[in-house]
Chains A and B, each alone.
Chain A
Amino acid sequence: MKWRRRGAWLLALLVLIVLIGGLVWWNVGRNHQQPSSPAQRVADAAALRDPVWIKRGEYLATVGDCAACHTARGGRPYAGGRSLATPFGDVPAPNITPDPGTGIGQWSFDDFWRALHDGKGRQGELLYPVFSYTSFTKVTRDDALAIFAYLKSLPPVNQPDLPTGLDFPYSLRSSLLAWRALYFKPGVFQPDPAKSETWNRGAYLVQGLGHCNECHAARDSLGGIRKNQHLTGGQIPQLAWYAPDLSTQSGGGLAGWRAQDIVDLLKTGQSARGTAFGPMADVVRLSTQHMTEADLQAVATYLQSLPPPTPATSPAPFKRAASADRGGKLYAKNCADCHGMDGHGVAGIYPPLDGNTSVTEPTGINAIRSVLLGGFAPATAGNPTPYSMPPFAQQLNDDDIAALVNYIRQSWSNQAGAVQPAAVSQYRHTPVD
């Protein structure tokens, strides 16, 4: 009891210090904000009315997948209201249609730039990094202007923002000061002159607007991403899917993927090496399938240049799980018709399981949930009537699914760790947002 009271005092003190520091820093920070020059503002205003800029902004907003978060399920596009779950509480995405009362109707481009580039709201308040300004800060001023022009061209929707549901002390925006010092470095993407134009375009898209790293890297207990973990894969907080490492080098999550495989997956939702599912299926359907061939090739070029992952210090010796034999019988009965006894799948229809990163990723979550949930590959212009997989949640118990998953994770060339029935039980819920 005594310790708990002392802990509460310490926490209160800490919050006070952070609060005071925050206020000071906030004021100083505001004075450093460089507003656009009058001449610049005139040029910006012209761009905001220019259909060419608006069209370009529409494409860039699609590449950035802004609508995915800023649209409630069944709601008007960009009108906000989708609740984004974080380990610290729920943050509803705001309305970014140009409604003067409830949207960004009264925002200037300087306001928008400050949000995207500096992670600060219109009043200078610190924004929660569930809005991925850690990536968007790399977006160029012109691209931001085009996106802003597009958003301003949308039909205004009068829909007030929902209150945030963050727990104390995260509910205090000043608590973000320390977070930003640790994990956020503002700065537009700087091209590498030693690399090709295509590589630089790909790096810009992946690191900036595409904000791939926001899922494809592990987050620590404060929800931040360490600098040395760029695109090395990680479990997505709250969603409970694993976003794999994106290196195509030996030992990488996409080992052996050709540039065309990457382009195919992003363009159509499926490739010779795997099919998009879970949150990535959303990304393909809403965003990447609409990207130009040149941009997709650029992304592939950049991903192919990522270094191989540093191997774990002492990899555990591979040992086949005891349940894998039983899993083999279940596989032959339930899976082999489509994925084949050789685990090669059927080209263009069913993904291979042999060498599939979604099967072998470190946690086993993706394999467990794919077996539980089944479902369709995303319907895209390149694959308008995708094939599907049965959900096995209603047919197989936890032991069976663990055995089956262990079989596919440890057959053919796959040598991934075993999963336990308890993990299957943990992921039995069906994700619905």
Chain B
Amino acid sequence: MQQRVIACTSCHGAHGEGSPDNVLVPRLAGKPAGYLLQQLEYFQSGQRRHAPMEYVVRQLSPAYLGQIADYFSQQDLPYRRWPVPAVSVETMRRGEQLVLHGDPDRAVPSCVSCHGAKLTGVQPMMPGLAGLSYGYLSAQLVSWRSHTRAAEGPYCMGVVANRMRESDITAVSAFLASRNPLADMHPAPASAQTTPLPGWCVMGQSGVNP
């Protein structure tokens, strides 16, 4: 399989560990298989936009996409630390607040309420946020706001990202990227999944600023 998917690994690293020199090319290794497959399908249908990815997945069958998702989800490699931009203590504190507790005044839930208590994701669909770079995290939050990343309803991340201030994106991304990799970075088991944000999300609606 490693030889077959060289179109993937030439950018995402030999085992999907992420690009060593491009912070925007994310790690694939160890992410939940269901999440990886869903993203591959979104690139195929155009719900997630990134031209090189859309081109690469175009010719693949659902079955093969599933095998590719399984392959990368099973890669188990150490995480690296990413450089964090110099942000103020207040920004970092705001990031910690949003990640761990959310902001009830803006109806923004905490990251841990969905992405796992340790932010390593939850099987089979919820991606981890730990171990991702500042550049990738902030670019994704912007993509959610601008609809170049989308999902079938509930459109949680679109709603949440639109409720955040622009400065919140910096704060959350900086705080997440600054954390040391944990000893166990594996996604939590499916049993850890909570119901998707009761009261926070509106089905099928892309969020507007409250």
B-binding residues in A (CB < 8 A): 73-74, 269, 281-282, 285, 373-379, 384-391, 393-395, 429-432
A residues less than 8 Å from B7 (CB atoms): 374-376, 388-391
Q: Is B61 engaged at the interface, CB distance under 8 Å to the other chain?
A: yes
Cβ–Cβ contact A386 & B59, under 8 A: yes
Given known contacts A376-B60, A384-B63, A388-B4, A393 and B10 CB-to-CB distance under 8 angstroms: no
Q: Scan B48-74; emit 1 where CB is below 8 A from any A CB, else 0.
A: 010110111011110110010000000
Task: List, in ascending order, chain A residues with CB within 8 A of B59's CB.
Answer: 269, 281-282, 285, 375-379, 386
A387 touches B64 (CB 8 A): no
**Residue B75 interfacial (CB < 8 Å):** no
Contact A373 B55, beta carbon cutoff 8 Å = yes
Min CB gap B37→A, angstroms = 14
- How many angstroms from the CA of A37 to the CA of B60 in the assembled complex? 47
Decide yes or no: A389 and B6 within 8 Å by CB, A375-B56, A376-B56, A432-B51 being known contacts.
yes
The distance in angstroms between the C-alpha atoms of A387 and B4, with both chains bound, is 4
Which B residues from 4 to 55 make CB contacts under 8 A with A?
A: 4-11, 22, 44-47, 49, 51-52, 54-55
Q: Are B10 and A390 in contact (CB under 8 A)?
A: yes
A381 CB to closest chain B CB, in angstroms? 9
Task: Tell me the minimal C-beta distance from B153 to chain A in angstroms.
Answer: 15
Residues from chain B with Cβ under 8 Å of A391 in the complex? 7, 10-11, 52, 55-56
CB distance from B23 to the nearest CB of A (A): 14
Q: Hey, which chain B residues are within 8 Å of A375, CB to CB?
A: 7, 55-56, 58-59
- Nearest 3 A/B pairs, CB to CB: A390-B10, A74-B45, A388-B7
- Cβ B3 vs Cβ A387 within 8 A: yes
Identify A385's interface contact among B4, B44, B47, CB under 8 A.
B4
A385 touching B10 by the CB < 8 A rule? no
Q: Which residues of B contact A395 (CB under 8 A)?
A: 10
Q: How large is the interface on B (under 10, 10 to 19, 20 to 34, 35 or more residues)?
A: 20 to 34
Cβ contact within 8 Å between B4 and A386: yes
Chain B residues contacting A430 (CB-CB under 8 Å) are 51-52, 54-55
State in angstroms the CA–CA spacing of A386 and B1 once bound together: 10
Extra 12 A-B pairs, beta carbons < 8 Å, given A376-B60, A379-B64: A74-B44, A281-B58, A379-B63, A384-B61, A388-B8, A390-B10, A391-B10, A391-B11, A393-B52, A430-B51, A430-B54, A432-B49
User: Of all chain B residues, which has the CB nearest A393?
Assistant: B52
B55 / chain A contacts, CB cutoff of 8 Å? 373, 375, 391, 430-432
Interface centre among A282, A377, A390 (most CB of B within 10 A): A390
> Contact at A73–B46, with CB atoms within 8 Å?
yes
Given A430-B52, A431-B55, A432-B55, answer yes or no on A379-B60 (Cβ-Cβ < 8 Å): yes
A432 to B46 Cα, complex, angstroms: 9
What are some 24 contacts across the A-B interface (CB < 8 A)? A74-B46, A74-B47, A282-B59, A285-B59, A373-B52, A374-B7, A374-B56, A375-B7, A375-B56, A376-B7, A376-B59, A384-B63, A385-B64, A386-B64, A388-B4, A388-B5, A388-B8, A389-B6, A390-B7, A390-B11, A391-B7, A391-B55, A394-B22, A394-B52
Cross-chain contact B6 with A387 (CB below 8 angstroms) = yes
Alpha-carbon distance between A433 and B61 when the two chains are bound, in angstroms: 18
**Given A376-B56, A393-B52, A430-B51: A385 and B67 within 8 A (CB)?**
yes
Contacts of A390 in B (CB 8 A): 6-7, 9-11
Chain B nearest CB from A427 CB (Å) reads 13
Contact between chains at A394 and B64 (CB < 8 Å): no
Can you list, as one digit per residue, whether each of B132-171 has a CB less than 8 Å from chain A (1) or not (0)? 0000000000000000000000000000000000000000
Contacts of A74 in B (CB 8 A): 44-47
User: Which residue of chain A is the closest to B5 with respect to CB atoms?
Assistant: A388
Write out the residue numbers on chain A whose beta carbons fall within 8 Å of the beta carbon of B56: 374-376, 388, 391
